Structure 1
Amino acid sequence: MGRNSKAILDKTCPSRLGPSHSTAQPESGVNVSSQSTAKPVPSKVLDRVLVLEMVRVTEAAAIGAAKLIGRGDEKAADAAAVEAMRIAFNELYMDGTVVIGEGERDEAPMLYIGEKVGAAPDKGPKIDIALDPLEGTTITAKAGPNALAVLAAAEEGGLLNAPDVYMEKLAVGPGYAEGIIDLAKSVSENVKAVADAKGVAPCDITVCVLDRPRHADIIAELRGLGCGIHLIPDGDVAGVIAVTNEDTGIDLYMGTGGAPEGVLAAAALRCVGGQFKGRLLFRNEDEKARARKWGIEDLNKIYDLKELAKGDCIFAATGVTDGSLLKGVKVRKDGVMTTDSVVMRAASGTVRWVRGEHRNKH
């Protein structure tokens, strides 16, 4: 996926020696024509102006973090992104509530869960917001690929209030029959289902997996099938979204990562098509208690897109470092900073790619 991604291919797969089964996509790289779910009804709250204004928020966070790329200080990079994002949010005419943020109130100084943001409390449109000002703090500190500033927004009650626990994730891009992937099935069964739908062998399927020891069993099973594996060091929001872009060559995303990031990624897939399944994983009783506190009763429930991001929603992201989805922040010789962003809306299925030039940002 990025410069440091590891590609593992089974060279013995016969079909890998023949013509490629993939077809090039338009420059946008996102197929929005074949969606596996019906478009939601447009929200009167999420107007077009607000949709575009959300890009300003992720741009601000990305620029804030970019000044610390490669400096080896994860906390400083995250703090810079958080502060810049909060300032930008508070310039928007809305009554926003952070439902997924930097932690609970006693854990984070700003953009904590429950914090009100926006310039029009009690007057503007009521918006629920999921955010990650810097998705990939380690990536940024080490100048690696695929660090993003991301957010999702929906009408009040439109996003799952996911606790900060692990989530088992499974995602596939658009154009497949509903229900083609299932967390109740094995790795092999899901790979074979997608391969059959594409009319290829399982060894022609490429899967993105977060490079963690906990994924050893998944990786071993994929290797047994001869699949291509893209191991990413961090940033599983970008990893999930990669399944929507044929230019990446990624068919499936599998593995466990943060639940908040799962909601963010699900919101993106809700906008452009594709399928996502998520199941919360708990390591101890404290995490289960935290989930119940946020209104989650069925701790074993498998969530789909419509349950993670209901109705109309917005997803916006700006690249911090170069990646498979977006280019990172750059500084030109004249001092102008450039950003590469994407903003999507579920109701319209519209994807806008935004290149920004920013002066007086130093």
Structure 2
Amino acid sequence: MEKEITLELVRVTEAAALMASRYLGRGDKEIVDKAASDAMRGMLDYIEMKGTVVLGEGEKDKAPMLYIGERVGRWADDDPELDIAVDPIDGTRLVAFGLPNAISVIAATEKGGIEFLPTYYSYKLAVGPELAGKLDINATIRENLRVAAAILGMEISELTCVVLNRDRHREIIEEIRRVGARIKLISDGDIAAAIATALPESNVNIYIGIGGSPEALLAAAALKSLGGEIQVKLWPMDENERAKVIEAGYDLEKVYRTDDLIKSDNVIFAATGVTDGDMLRGVRFQKNVAITESIVMRSRTRTIRKIIAYHNMAYKTIPLKSAGEIKYINGLRRI
């Protein structure tokens, strides 16, 4: 990319996390998502880029903010043209009910750098650098766990697998238990779970299961910088979606790997914690100061930065963009 926008992207996820954290534990997922989306959308327009949202909340007529195809950024003549992928809050329910592992996420690449996945859900397998290229999403869970244990020099009983706690994963969970590995069940937030496999301090070895396709792409953006790997297969929700995907020419047996999902060699990924999790600490408030913890990565240089920011809320201004209007929050109070 022609211009360095790393810190600007962190400011975007910080703003989204700060606004969403106001509604921690209030039981309202919609207001959490709206607050984060509003802040993220407002902050994006300050960045010197010609940005197009290629992965967002949905199509324009179904998503009032950050829809696919939306133009964000300053759009000056000399600004670089970038593709933007966002998830204002991965884990809106986690924030709404005060649960761990909610994050705000954004990724940016050169134009055409992010693959399009036609299904809402995908079957995913994510691992860290030591296991990258060593496991096979088409192999049995038993086989993959045996290979992982041998490569890592661990007993199978010492391996930890992360799985979304869903009825559709009952067979996966039972198979992991039969083989004897440890399981960490999560209720939501599988972007952070997939990325955690590549972070030594997380003590997570494998992420496996069926989850959102947009989340797979955002996880791939981070894993590309971390040296990890994600493998993905399309998973149609029903026969109607299956027929549409096949008619469009997609192969349901194709395995998409990290470089297939993020085709650019230069992707920037940023995330800020909203609630405490394995990857990041959540937003904390101390008197008039809010503390955020963020991570930002750049694949070309494999640089990983963690940023702890102290926001004096008496002076903090966050632009909120909704229905074409920008409103400013000073000290998180509307003025």
Which of 85, 99, 103 is the matching residue for 1:148?
A: 103
- CA shift, 1:337, in A, is 1.3
Corresponding residue number in structure 1 for 2:121: 166
Q: Deviations over 1:297-331 (max 9, x none)?
A: 33332100001112210110000111111111111
Kindly report which structure 2 residues correspond to 1:68-83, keeping only aligned pairs within 5 A, or say none. Answer: 68-83=23-38
Aligned-residue CA RMSD (Å): 1.7
What is the rounded CA distance, in whole Å, between the counterparts of 1:163 and 1:78 in structure 2?
Answer: 23
State TM-score, norm by structure 2.
0.90
What is the aligned residue count? 314
What is the rounded CA distance, in whole Å, between the counterparts of 1:79 and 1:300 in structure 2?
Answer: 36
Superposed structure 1 runs of 4+ greater than 4 Å apart: 288-293
Contact 1:159/1:308 (<8 A) preserved: yes
Which of the two has greater strand per residue? Answer: 2
Which of 124, 149, 157 is the matching residue for 2:79?
A: 124
Percent of aligned positions with the same letter in both sequences?
45
From the superposition, tell whether residues 114 and 323 of structure 1 become closer, same or farther in structure 2 (CA, over 3 Å): same
What is the rounded CA distance, in whole Å, between the counterparts of 1:139 and 1:193 in structure 2?
Answer: 33
Contact 1:163/1:290 (<8 A) preserved: no
What is the rounded CA distance, in whole Å, between the counterparts of 1:290 and 1:328 in structure 2?
Answer: 40
Aligned residue for 1:244, secondary structure, equals coil
Say whether 1:350 aligns with 2:323: no
- Tell me which amino acid in the other structure corresponds to 1:183: I
Corresponding residue number in structure 1 for 2:59: 104
Unaligned runs of 5+ in 1: 1-43
Corresponding residue number in structure 2 for 1:316: 270
Kindly report which structure 2 residues correspond to 1:31-46, keeping only aligned pairs within 5 A, or say none. Answer: 44-45=1-2
What is the rounded CA distance, in whole Å, between the counterparts of 1:89 and 1:212 in structure 2?
Answer: 34
Say whether 1:307 aligns with 2:260: yes
- Tell me which amino acid in the other structure corresponds to 1:238: A
Contact 1:96/1:121 (<8 A) preserved: no
Contact 2:130/2:152 (<8 A) preserved: no
Which of 257, 263, 272 is the matching residue for 2:217?
A: 263
Say whether 1:250 aligns with 2:204: yes
Contact 2:90/2:103 (<8 A) preserved: yes
Q: Deviations over 1:138-169 (max 9, x none)?
A: 10100000100001111001011234511101
What is the rounded CA distance, in whole Å, between the counterparts of 2:111 and 2:243 in structure 1?
Answer: 24
Q: Deviations over 1:2-36 (max 9, x none)?
A: xxxxxxxxxxxxxxxxxxxxxxxxxxxxxxxxxxx
- Tell me which amino acid in the other structure corresponds to 1:81: A
Corresponding residue number in structure 2 for 1:297: 250
Which of 283, 287, 294 is the matching residue for 2:241?
A: 287
- CA shift, 1:201, in A, is 2.4
Contact 1:279/1:301 (<8 A) preserved: yes
What is the rounded CA distance, in whole Å, between the counterparts of 1:281 and 1:122 in structure 2?
Answer: 41
Corresponding residue number in structure 2 for 1:195: 149
What is the rounded CA distance, in whole Å, between the counterparts of 2:249 and 2:216 in structure 1?
Answer: 16
From the superposition, tell whether residues 164 and 184 of structure 1 become closer, same or farther in structure 2 (CA, over 3 Å): closer
From the superposition, tell whether residues 194 and 351 of structure 1 become closer, same or farther in structure 2 (CA, over 3 Å): same
Contact 1:99/1:113 (<8 A) preserved: yes
- Tell me which amino acid in the other structure corresponds to 1:202: I
State TM-score, norm by structure 1.
0.83
What is the rounded CA distance, in whole Å, between the counterparts of 1:304 and 1:281 in structure 2?
Answer: 15
Say whether 1:272 aligns with 2:272: no
From the superposition, tell whether residues 290 and 111 of structure 1 become closer, same or farther in structure 2 (CA, over 3 Å): farther
Aligned residue for 2:100, secondary structure, equals coil
Aligned residue for 1:175, secondary structure, equals helix
Contact 1:146/1:238 (<8 A) preserved: yes
Contact 1:206/1:228 (<8 A) preserved: yes
